[in-house]
């Protein structure tokens, strides 16, 4: 059992039709047929959307995505039309709302990995491969790969795991031409972002993108290069052979699996609310990632 501990009721706004409640985002359609994405302050861990929110998280994700879209504009078109608040929307939506093109989405999580960790490490330890791609011997947790690799996954419903799949499976599902275009775009965007992050003292270990088609054009969609969709590590603390400190929700994961939480993740019981110090430490990590990457002080 997993999913929402307490599934929120979507806010109703005149002129907007609510389409979907995700782990973090609420999705609406406006009268022009555009999508309206609203990033909440919800946070998830171990396939649960937790009952405690992280203040400012949705705004950080939205503003960081907008910054990255601007850095990548010459490389990949994106789906953002406007950041204007829809008429009648609550004031709290300011800074966390994007009006976007309605795309024909590709049902693939496009993952780029430049370093070995997470589910890729688990597969490598068993077979010396990641998503069927052979890798050299001797790699450990946190090792930089000889070259970045495209390791796609299927997109899971809330409360379920994304499942890594081979490139050949993606080609079977969406066609060889689209699969090749996804791989090329994913690795090109990753390489640009990796270099930008590196100049700011941050390692972009891996990240996932979503793409859709606007006519025949492949367009970058959803969020990009945030602590929710990427692993960012401080470069000055990188040490292969162990788990790396990261700019994400590691404080949440660590507390949930500690004796202090009293929660057994193998049980069917939902996780408990987060204590204030974990909330504040997690918020600080999201803000630090934004500030280090953009060079702009969060306010």
Q: Which are the contacts of 119, defined by CB distance < 8 A and separation ≥ 6? A: 164
CA dihedral of residues 122, 124, 130, 132 (deg, nearest 10): -120
Say which range, 32-41, 192-201, 261-270, 289-298, has the weakest mean pLDDT.
261-270
What are the structural domain ranges in the chain? 11-102, 104-234
What pLDDT was estimated at residue 250?
85
Q: What is the pLDDT of residues 144-182, one digit of tens each?
A: 999 999 999 987 665 456 788 999 999 999 999 999 999
On whether the CB atoms of residues 162 and 154 are closer than 8 A, the answer is: yes
Q: What is the pLDDT of residues 70-94, one digit of tens each?
A: 999 999 999 999 999 999 999 999 9
CATH class as words, domain 11-102: alpha beta
CATH number of 104-234: 3.30.470.20
């Amino acid at each position: 059992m997993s999913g929402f501990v307490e599934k929120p009721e979507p806010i109703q706004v005149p002129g907007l039709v609510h389409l979907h409640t995700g782990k973090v985002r609420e999705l609406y359609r406006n009268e022009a047929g555009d999508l309206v994405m609203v990033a909440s302050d919800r946070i998830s861990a171990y396939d649960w959307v937790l009952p405690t929110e992280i203040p400012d998280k949705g705004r950080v994700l939205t503003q960081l995505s907008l910054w990255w879209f601007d850095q990548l504009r010459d490389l990949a078109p994106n789906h953002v039309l406007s950041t204007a608040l829809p008429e009648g929307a609550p004031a709290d939506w300011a800074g966390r709302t994007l009006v976007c093109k309605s795309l024909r989405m590709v049902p693939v999580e496009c993952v780029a990995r430049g370093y070995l960790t997470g589910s890729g490490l688990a597969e490598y330890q068993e077979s010396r491969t990641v998503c069927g791609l052979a890798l050299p011997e001797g790699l450990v947790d946190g090792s930089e790969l000889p070259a970045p690799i495209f390791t796609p996954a299927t997109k899971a419903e809330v409360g379920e795991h994304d499942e890594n799949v081979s490139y050949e499976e993606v080609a079977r599902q969406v066609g060889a031409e689209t699969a090749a275009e996804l791989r090329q775009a994913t690795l090109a965007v990753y390489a640009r972002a990796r270099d930008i992050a590196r100049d700011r003292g941050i390692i972009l270990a891996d990240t996932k993108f979503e793409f859709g088609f606007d006519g025949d054009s492949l367009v970058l969609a959803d969020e990009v290069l945030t602590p929710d969709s990427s692993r960012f590590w401080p470069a000055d603390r990188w040490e292969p052979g162990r788990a790396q400190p990261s700019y994400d929700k590691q404080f949440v994961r660590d507390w949930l699996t500690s004796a202090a939480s009293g929660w057994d993740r193998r049980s069917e019981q939902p996780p408990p609310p987060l204590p204030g110090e974990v909330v504040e430490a997690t918020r600080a990590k999201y803000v630090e990632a934004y500030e280090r990457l953009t060079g702009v002080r969060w306010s």
